[in-house]
Structures are given as structure tokens and as C-alpha cells.
Chain A
Amino acid sequence: MRFFKTATAIAVAMSMASGAYAQDGSINVLGHKVHQTAATGLTAGTTGGDVTAEWQAENGSINWITADVNPLHDRLFRELTLPVGNVDMAFFLNRFASPRAFELLEPLDGYQAENPIEDFDGLSQGMLDGMTYDGKVYGIPFRHSTTALVYNETLLQQAGFDGPPKSFDELIDMAKKLYHVDANGQKVYGLTQVGNSPEFLLAMMLASGKPFLEADFTLNADTPEYIATLNTLKDLSDNGGLVDNYVANNLDGLISDMQNGRAVMSLSPFNRESVLNDEKLSLFPGSFKVTAVPPMANGELPVQTEVWYLVIPKNAPNKELAWELIRTLSSPEATVREALNGNGATRPAAYEDPRIIEKIASAAEQARSVASARLALPGFEEIARAQTILGEEADAVLLGYQTAEEAAAKTQALIEPLLPKKQ
């Protein structure tokens, strides 16, 4: 009996606590850990500070729920389908945008008209377009993840190179030449990339002169460019230009490869430089430099980007508070401070801020890359299935199960039916 009394008391106390939690202005925010660190300045050595501090002092605490990209969106979509959700504001990646997703999100135009974001026009228009559907804005751009070339200057010099490659073709050649076994018997590869998502493959395809999937959903899989891309990938893999566990490599593996000197270069987002140079974790602190992806033969930069947006679920319990937080996080001053915390700024003007020029060595390169970047993939309903097919067929080439021509034809045949019908 005593047990039941105690249990009942705990249950009542917990329900009261949760009621109070809902009323004191606290909100639940679903995002990736990088969003939390960018907003709150958690990473050691960053100078932007806690951008949310003032908001929290006025409104209440932020309950951060963080997860990796796919689990985050799994959770978000599950929350979105509940009659009343638990998430007030979420971070949403452009590749998950689709008409069905827009139906589950709150249009933000009304909030903007009533209580506008400071200097709304200063936000990247191209990024805003990515979350505009049927004339309505569903997300405010918070962070771009634009591809750059990150390289270990020490290892590059030891291999006899005086600087990073000047063209994309040179990058491929250099990656293969960099392969060697070091004095400790460790294999050192030219490039390390994440293989369980298709960013590298898409970047290579873009560098061949054609995007894999165009904004109007024209699929360029069964093309000479994609066949050449697959052959280059296999060539890299067979000749030490790419880590030998590429097909299973994840982000942790990529960072570990770079920090431990198992790879010299990587096509990675600009802001990865800081974690690679971390004194506590890296064998080469200070050696990692970042520059724009080397240009193609025609001089264009084959840069792709992904954009994270701030969104409010249609079933969010605290929409007004969520909008207040969005306003706070996307003001011009907040954008600069978040960039100082390692975020990719979504306001072009932020790269001209003296604080950013002083603290971020690659600011000019970043601004140049963002200006010419294009989205890795446009969003559509069956994108997850399409990405799986893309990776699977490419991996089969890499491992010698099929030729590039066979893979290109199969990729085209399997992905084409998944795409939205052209208007």
C-alpha cells in the first residue's frame, strides 16, 4: 500500500511538473547537435557566445532534443503526424522538403507580416526559395553546409606538394599520388569521404559538368558524365586515392581519418576545419586548412550545399514563442555570432563583418563558394529511396560487382519512376 501511495505521489508530482513546464515559456527544439553549439556557443574556442541567452531570460528555457540527420527527421515526421506535437520549433534540412512535408509545417508569412524578422531581405533569397511552396515561406534559412576542400598542410608538404590542387582534375591526380604507407606502417590515403550518404558522389558528378538531378527533376544518371564519374570513383578507390573503407565510412570515421593522418584531404563543409584542428583530439592541430573546391576546366566552382531551415510544426503547442525564437536566431547580429560559433551564415552580408573577417580565415572563400553553390539534390517524396539506390549501384561498381555503364543504366531505370512528374 505504501508503495502505491508513493508511486501515486510521484505520478501526481510529475504531471504537475510537466504542466508547469508547458506554462513557463519553455519550448522544445528538435535539431542536430551542431545547431545547439552554433546557437549557444558550446564549442571551446568559439567567440559568438550564447545567442539564445537573452531570449531565455525573457521567455524560459530551451529544451534541446538533438539527433543525427536521419533520426532527427524520422522523429520530426513522427511528431508532425500527431494530433498535438511536442516539438515547438525544429531544424529541417532542405533535402527532406516535399509537398507532403509542407502540409505538416506552419506557413510563416503571417508571423513575418505581424512581427517581422529584422532585415528579412538580407537573408539569402536563393535559400529562402528552397522552402517556399505555393507562394508561402515554410522555413527560415539558419545554416548552410557548403562543400570546401579541407586538407592537412603538413602531410601535403611532406608529400612534396606546395599547396592544394588548383583544378578538380588535379585534385583527383593528387589524391592518388598522396597514397603511401608511413613510417609507422599506417596507410595514408589521398581522400576520405563519407560513403553512407551520396554527397561525395554528387560532388564528383557536379565536377564532371552536370548535376546528377536538376532542379526540374531531369535525371542525368544514364549519361557519359555519370559513367565517367563512377569510373573516376573506382579509379580513386583502386589506387589509394580514397580510403579503402569508403563504402561504410561515416562522419565519425571521416573525422578520425583526418585527425589521425590516415587521409590528407576531404571534400567537407567549411566549418569542419575547427574540429579537425582541435588540440585535444587531433594529431595535427593547426595543420588543417580549408579552401574552395578547386574549379572545373571551365573555371566554375563545382560547389554544392545543403541548407538547414528553422520551421514550426503545424501541430506545435507554442507557435508564437517558436516564432520569437526564430526571430532571435535569424537576426543579422545573431547570424554573425552563430558564424563565429562555427555556423554557415545564411546572410551574405555576414561575411563582410569585421569580426568574421578577423576570426574566420576562410571567410572570403566561403562567401565565394556560397555565391556559386547549388543544392546537392532537390527535395521530393521518395528521396530516401533514391539515395539508397544511388549509393548501392555506385558501391557495386566500386567493389567490382558491375561496370559503370551497367550501374548508370540501372540507376536511371530505378530512380526515374520515383521522381515527381514534370509539369
Chain B
Amino acid sequence: MRRLNLFHLVLLTPAQTLVTLMLAAPAFYVFWLSLTTSSYGLNPQFVGLDNYINVLSDKHFWTASWNTFLIVNVVVYIELVLAFGMAVLVASLKKGRMLIFALILVPYAISEVVGVLAWRFLADPNIGLVTQAFAAFGITFNWTRNVADALTLICTISIWQHLPFTFVIIYAAVISVPRDLYEAARVDGANGWQQTWNITIPLIVPAATLAIVFRYIFAFRMFSEVWLVTKGGPVRLTEVLGTYLYRTGFTFADFGGAAATGWLMVLGALLLSVFYLRSMYRKSFSDE
């Protein structure tokens, strides 16, 4: 491996400066803010770890953390299964593949706010089409009063909205599996299920890992699906960390508490995805 010389460093400087200014500096500023009491019209005052202690001793923070953990895992893995099934199906189509592909991408093309509000109307407890359809089967669905219904709705919206992202990654991996592997398997007498289990799945694992890591990080920051539908209710039982942070920062004007929540979210997201990141890192550098 060649060593970096001055010329290389000069070329790297703009990108490094950009990363420092846009990511590292704000992150350090937020960390400093998390060690202060700060609000509108109030000069920040150093309070040490008080904000972290306050946040960690707030029951709503733990409700939000549990909900985030639950929702993230539900949406990421359901999306993965659905994306895989759809990718295999679309890849096997002889005709209309592009049309189906475009239809699957539609939710990603719709404005997030518009999509979420449309779902809110569809699931309106009195006049929503979804609610009425459930009612026809004798199922009561009222997310305004029932926490399980509210969390189900939030997961459904998130899956609907982000499935195209996972699908595109998995689909690209599925169609890149060499055809001759399947031919060889068929010659050896493998059926469709055996081909999928022994060829497709092992070969798309790196792509799936990538999709999982990205979706973990995106889903961990979930906000609009909750804020625009339940606002964290009823009784703040559907709060997630994104809405907890927003409420602390912009409703309660407690910037120190919000900054501390932000850093705890970073640590939480790292903790959740560390297994996959480690796996990706090992694979990336396995040749060395």
C-alpha cells in the first residue's frame, strides 16, 4: 500500500474539511450543548451530566426507546422478507418487469408527509377505508385509543414507505446471481426451494446486510410516521426517540435535554447495528 504524501493530503483536504464542518463540528457542538441548560433567550450554563441523568430517569425516554427498538426490528425484518419475495418474483417475470418495478417504487416517489397523512385518513377511526374494511370483518381498529393498533399503523406506514429502498438493493443482488449456478443446481436435481435456500440467499447476504444497516439507521430516526399520526399518543405510549427528542427540544424548549437525547440515540443506533457493521467490516477486509 502506498503511503500518503503531501499531494494526496492536499487532494483530500476539501472532502475532509467538508466532513469536519458539516458533521464533526455540529456533533461536537451538540455534545457541548448536552452538557448545558439552554433554552430560548437563555445563555447556556454548564451542568455536567445532569441532562443525561434527567433523560435516563424519564420514563417516557424508556417508553420511546422500547418503541423504537420494537418498531425498528419489526419494520426492518418484515421489509427484508417482503423485498426478497418481491425481488425473486419480479426477477422471474418474463414480461412487464419494468412496469412492476416502477409500481413498487411509487411510495418512495410520494412526499413523506403526504403519504403519512393519506394513511392517517385511510385509518381514520370513523370514516377511514381501512377501518371500515376491518369493520366489515368484525375487527375494531382504533389507533386513537389502542396502543397496539397505533403501533401497527406506524409500522405499516413505515414499511409501505421504505420497502422500495430495501427492494432495490435486494433486487440488484438477486439479478446479479450468476445464472449458471442455477443451471448447475438443476442438473444436480435441486428444486426451486433448494436453489433459493442454497444459492440465492447465501449470495445476497452482503447486500441484505447493507440494506439492514441502512434501514436500521433510517428507522432509528423515525419521526414523521409517528408525529403526523399519533403525535406519540395515546398517553405518550407510541412515542419514539425521534419524537421524544423533538418534543424535548422544540415543544419544551429544552435544548440541553434534546442534545443529550440526540447523543444517546447515536449510541443506541451504534449498539443496534454494531453486529452488522462488524460483519460488513470483516467481509470488506477479508482479503487483507
Does chain B have a CB within 8 A of A248? yes
The A/B interface has a contact count, at CB < 8 Å, of 72
Q: Which residues of B contact A245 (CB under 8 A)?
A: 124-126, 142, 144-145
- Min CB distance B16 to A, Å, is 23
Q: Which residues of A contact B125 (CB under 8 A)?
A: 244-245
Does chain A have a CB within 8 A of B28? no
- Min CB distance A392 to B, Å, is 5
- Min CB distance A204 to B, Å, is 19
Interface of B: prevailing SS:
loop
Interface size class of A (residues with CB under 8 A): 20 to 34
Does chain A have a CB within 8 A of B233? yes
Q: Check B144 against A103 for contact (C-beta < 8 Å).
A: no
Given A70-B251, A248-B230, A392-B235: A77 and B142 interface contact (C-beta under 8 Å): no
Q: Which residues of B contact A384 (CB under 8 A)?
A: 251-253
Interface residue ranges of A364-411 to B (CB < 8 Å): 382, 384-385, 388, 392, 395-396, 399, 401
Given A244-B144, A384-B251, A399-B145: A103 and B126 interface contact (C-beta under 8 Å): no
* Nearest B residue to A247, CB-CB: B234
Bound: A324/B124 CA distance, A: 46
Does chain A have a CB within 8 A of B41? yes
Bound: A244/B252 CA distance, A: 28
Q: Check B42 against A100 for contact (C-beta < 8 Å).
A: yes
Does chain B have a CB within 8 A of A80? yes
Bound: A388/B254 CA distance, A: 14
Given A196-B233, A247-B144: A187 and B126 interface contact (C-beta under 8 Å): yes
Does chain A have a CB within 8 A of B193? no
Does chain B have a CB within 8 A of A283? no
Cβ-defined partner of A395 (8 Å) among B41, B143, B234, B253: B234
Cβ-defined partner of A248 (8 Å) among B39, B40, B41, B144: B144
Does chain B have a CB within 8 A of A56? no
* Nearest A residue to B42, CB-CB: A100
Q: Which residues of A contact B236 (CB under 8 A)?
A: 388, 392
- Min CB distance A273 to B, Å, is 23
Q: Check A101 against B41 for contact (C-beta < 8 Å).
A: yes
- Min CB distance B59 to A, Å, is 11
- Min CB distance A417 to B, Å, is 13
Does chain A have a CB within 8 A of B46? no
Does chain B have a CB within 8 A of A262? yes
Most chain A beta-carbon contacts within 10 A, residue among B142, B235, B250:
B235
Q: Which residues of A contact B234 (CB under 8 A)?
A: 247-248, 395, 399
Given A244-B144, A247-B144, A385-B252: A395 and B40 interface contact (C-beta under 8 Å): no
Q: Which residues of B contact A385 (CB under 8 A)?
A: 251-252
0/1 per residue, B116-145, Cβ < 8 Å to A? Answer: 000000001111000000000000001111
Q: Which residues of A contact B162 (CB under 8 A)?
A: none
* Nearest B residue to A76, CB-CB: B40
Q: Check B40 against A78 for contact (C-beta < 8 Å).
A: yes
Given A245-B142, A247-B144: A100 and B235 interface contact (C-beta under 8 Å): no
Q: Check B145 against A100 for contact (C-beta < 8 Å).
A: no
0/1 per residue, A58-90, Cβ < 8 Å to B? Answer: 000000000000100010011011000000000
- Min CB distance A178 to B, Å, is 16
Extra 7 A-B pairs, beta carbons < 8 Å, given A247-B144, A248-B143, A248-B234: A77-B40, A77-B41, A80-B41, A104-B40, A104-B41, A244-B125, A401-B235
User: Could you list some 19 contacts between A and B, CB below 8 A?
Assistant: A70-B251, A77-B40, A77-B253, A78-B40, A100-B39, A100-B40, A103-B41, A244-B145, A245-B124, A245-B145, A246-B144, A247-B235, A248-B143, A248-B144, A262-B126, A382-B252, A385-B251, A392-B235, A401-B235
